[in-house]
Every structure is written in structure tokens, then in C-alpha cells.
Structure 1
Amino acid sequence: MSTHDDGKLKCSIEYTLQKIGGKWKTVILWHLAVDGTLRYNEIRSLLPGVTHKVLSQQLKELEEEGFIDRKSYNTVPPKVEYTLTAFGATLLPILKQMHEWGTVHGDLA
């Protein structure tokens, strides 16, 4: 990540990508926005090709950044749910535009 001599980022887009960059983060955020609260296995089923390690890491980073909440229930088997936070919801206009652009320009057939 390029920075000024004082350590600050040069570009607001760099900042945004630093927070939500990565192959799966925006897709996770989109599904939580559209589908609501989801369990780990529900998220994993929505992301074909994601590994357990990568999904766990992406969820942890999104939680640390305050974009999602993780709620763990003390049950057998363990139950964990993920929900978009109010802060995470501030990304919805961007995610909606990405969705619309991909719908128009993507070859999803």
C-alpha cells in the first residue's frame, strides 16, 4: 500500500480497498445485506470455491473492521451467525452499484 512520508494513505480508494478488498469480502457483505443474518455454512454454500481457511479469515477481518457482527450460541453442535452492522450497511450504495454494473456488463449466463 503506498503512503505519504507521514504514513498516511495517498488515496481514499486505497483506504476503501484496504478495508473491503479481497476476493470474497464484498460478496460476503452483499449476501448479508440481501439475505440478512446467515450461519457460517450458509455463507460458505453461497461462495463456491472458497476454502474454510479463507472464509474464516475474511469473516474475522470483516468483524474486526466493524462491518459484521458475529454471534456465537453455546449449543451442540455450535451455532454461529453473522449479521451486517449499521456501519457495514453504509457500504450498501457501493455494493448496489457494483451489483447493477455486473448485471449489465457481466456474462453470467
Structure 2
Amino acid sequence: MDTNEYEDFLSNLKSYQGNPKCFLLQSLEILHGKWTAKIIFHLLKSESMRFGDLKKAIPAITNTMLTTTLRALEQQEILNRRQYNEIPPHVEYFLTEKGSALLPIFYELWHWGKIYPIENGISE
């Protein structure tokens, strides 16, 4: 990580005064919601997934919420939807370049989740 960029980040974070163009808050707004990160996680694991496969991977999500979240992610250009006009018709979802760019963020979350429980005496 570029030291100057990191220092700039810390400076902006400490001096935050409600700026609507805060990059961190804009990013968190995209990833907000109970299901968004879980859907992205499963799409990071697979090249593409069908609706039913996502539903099986996240059994607690309702069909309506899955549809709503997929549409929002598509609108934000995090994922794309590919429709096959076959019989029976099917749709596959896959991450765009923007969506795939989230991999390092998920890695850092994984790394933090690996270390945090050990450092805080939380074990399985």
C-alpha cells in the first residue's frame, strides 16, 4: 500500500465532516445490506451461478430479497446477468470487473477474521 495514500486516508477519516463524497462511505453504501456481501462472496467462488444455486448457497434468503439484491448489484455494475433463451430458459449471474475488484477487500476481511478471534481469546 502506498504510504502517502494511506496517510491521506487517515487524514480524511479523522477530519470527516459529513462530506457526501467520502469514498469509504460510498463503498460501504454499495456493500450495505444483510445479503449483499454473501452474494458477492458466492460469486467470487464461482465463475457464474444460477438463481437456484445462489438460493441453495444462501438458504435463509427469500426469493424476493435475492431478486431485489441481485437487481441492485446489477444496477451498480457489480454483477451482470446473462439470460439463455433455451427451453427451459435460465439466467446466470457473474461478477463484472468492478465486482471482481472486491476480491482484495474480501481477502482482508478473511485475514482479519482469521486473526481477530485468536487475539481476543475467541475460539471454536
Q: What stretches of structure 2 of length at least 5 have no aligned partner?
A: 1-16
Identity %: 32
Q: 1:39 aligns with which of 50, 69, 83?
A: 50
Q: Give the equivalent residue in structure 1 for 2:88.
A: 77
TM-score (normalised: structure 1): 0.82
Q: CA deviation at 1:100?
A: 3.0
Q: Which moved more, 1:57-66 or 1:70-79?
A: 70-79
Q: CA deviation at 1:89?
A: 1.1
Letter in structure 2 aligned against 1:85: T
Letter in structure 2 aligned against 1:51: T
Change (3 A) 1:14 1:100: same
Distance in 2 of aligned mates of 1:99 and 1:48: 22
Q: Give the equivalent residue in structure 1 for 2:22.
A: 11
Distance in 1 of aligned mates of 2:24 and 2:113: 19
Q: Give the equivalent residue in structure 2 for 1:100.
A: 111
Change (3 A) 1:14 1:49: same
Between Structure 1 and Structure 2, the one with more helix by share is: 2
Q: Give the equivalent residue in structure 2 for 1:26.
A: 37
Distance in 2 of aligned mates of 1:76 and 1:63: 24
Calculate the aligned-residue CA RMSD, in Å.
2.2
Q: Give the equivalent residue in structure 1 for 2:63.
A: 52
Q: What stretches of structure 1 of length at least 5 have no aligned partner?
A: none
Bigger relative contact order, structure 1 or 2 (CA pairs below 8 A, ≥6 apart): 1
Cα shift readout 1:23-78 (whole Å, capped 9, x = no counterpart): 11111111111122110100111112100111000000101111111001112322
Which structure has the larger Rg? 2
Letter in structure 2 aligned against 1:12: F
Matched, 1:65 2:92: no
Q: CA deviation at 1:105?
A: 4.3
